[in-house]
Copies of this chain bind each other. A is one copy, B any other.
Amino acid sequence: MSVEVTRLPSGLRIVSESRPQLQTVAVGMWVDIGARHEPLKLNGITHCLEHMLFKGTKRRSARDIASEIESVGGQMNAYTSRDNTTYYARVMKDDLPLAFDVLADIILNSQCDDSELVREKEVILQEIGQALDTPDDIVFDHLQDAAFRDQAIGRSILGTAESVRSFSSADLRSYLTTNYTASNIVVSAVGNLEHKDLVALAEEKLAGLKNGEPSKASGARFTGGDIREKRELEQVHVTAAWPGVSFQDDNYYAMQVYSTILGGGMSSRLFQEVRENRGLAYSVYSFTSSHQDVGMLGIYAGTGPEMAEGMMPVIMGEMEALTKGPTEEEFKIAVAQLKSGLVMALEATTSRMEQMGRQMLVFDRLIPIEEMISNVEAVTPDDVARTASQVLAESDIAMAIVGGGDLDRITFS
């Protein structure tokens, strides 16, 4: 496996990892624009634009875009996050030029046609409806909102029915031109390929990318908040979050070890105490999320309405107890899990392609696996205890609950 990075004079970055033993290639174009860059009135436009890029270019109809890659047995898709937008394809190795041509075409030449937009808004309204019907999805949208009140980073990626209905095709074209610039884009590919061929494709097919300013998001701030939505459900879906770490934070790896011990696997404290010892939940875990400037440490548990009130003190008890530091065994387990997780993520082509694309956008360099592993190994049990205390010392807590029963009785005490 050989990793290479090329920077074109335009600012476009191209990264690849060659794996000659494979039959396939995963290729993605990463755009440094996400929901957190949106002004309030345009909430959801990044995601709407992602949809519209499949609806026709100067050379290709929507149907052509769908069928060209599928006709060689490939798959193509896209997704929008709070930080960035990704278009990607997985194809047999000889079809990389075709996949690249289609991806480059939709990024450069999409028409954002009026009549297509009218129909695609309906599709997005259905997508919003589907998300609203999924309580253990929607509770995380509420948690993000509670954590970052009145900020773009706290809003839904899909936008609202109202905001989506308001977009014009001129809005979309302007958003595309402003943000899909050479310096905002990273091409990442993993599989049976040669780096120089990938660079040649980028030079040829993405020559039309304009220069422009790097996209800028307003700095985000963890505010905390409390959002509860009563629904007639079997379960109550409980989430809470505390200020966590940005990707740049010195404490980033200590936070990963802490979260792994707290609620990262079957041997974690939350799983053992909430599920195994007390049978309070089927699904209970902690998680971290990170952005360039902020992050969160969160917990989720789904339980019966009659048990929710009693569950929060159990969770808080485990968080308190961990401020005294991890046991030797659980510390060892967490470090081993994180290290092998890094190695295992390398083996799947699509997840490795995603990791490389994201690292270029966040750090403007690829982080060698050895560096990540030594960062994990540098964390000490004292770092974990300190991190556990820092999390609980924060007075700004976010909480979001969706479900049945008396939601007001669920507290942190």
Expressed in whole angstroms, the minimum distance between the Cβ of A233 and any Cβ of chain B is 5
Once bound together, how far apart are the Cα atoms of A133 and B125, in whole Å? 21
A58 at the interface (CB under 8 A from B): no
- Residue numbers in B under 8 Å from A339 (CB-CB): 73
Is A216 on the interface with B (CB-CB < 8 A)?
no
Chain B nearest CB, measured from A96 CB (Å): 13
Report yes or no: B302 in contact with A126, Cβ–Cβ below 8 A. Answer: yes
Residue among A62, A66, A232, A343 with most chain B CB within 10 A: A66
* A124 beta carbon closer than 8 Å to chain B: yes
Q: A92-B340, A279-B120, A340-B74 are in contact. Are A136 and B130 (CB under 8 A)?
A: yes
Q: Which residues of B contact A275 (CB under 8 A)?
A: 123
- Closest chain-B Cβ to A53's Cβ sits at a distance in Å of 13
Check A329 for interface membership: any CB of B closer than 8 A.
yes
Inter-chain contact B132/A134, CB cutoff 8 Å: no
> B329, A119: Cβ atoms under 8 Å?
no
Q: How many chain A residues touch B (Cβ–Cβ < 8 Å)?
A: 75
Are the CB atoms of A66 and B265 closer together than 8 Å?
A: yes
Check A283 for interface membership: any CB of B closer than 8 A: yes
Assess the B233–A133 pair: CB atoms within 8 A. Answer: yes
16 sampled A-B residue pairs with Cβ under 8 A: A23-B343, A24-B344, A63-B276, A66-B265, A66-B266, A70-B266, A71-B332, A72-B340, A73-B336, A120-B279, A123-B279, A124-B282, A126-B302, A128-B234, A130-B282, A133-B302
What residues make up the interface of A, taking CB atoms closer than 8 Å to B? 21-24, 54, 62-63, 66-67, 70-76, 90-92, 118-130, 132-136, 232-235, 237, 265-267, 271-272, 275-283, 302-304, 329-330, 332-333, 336-341, 343-344, 347-349, 403
6 tightest Cβ-Cβ pairs between the two chains A and B: A73-B340, A122-B279, A129-B234, A66-B266, A73-B336, A119-B279
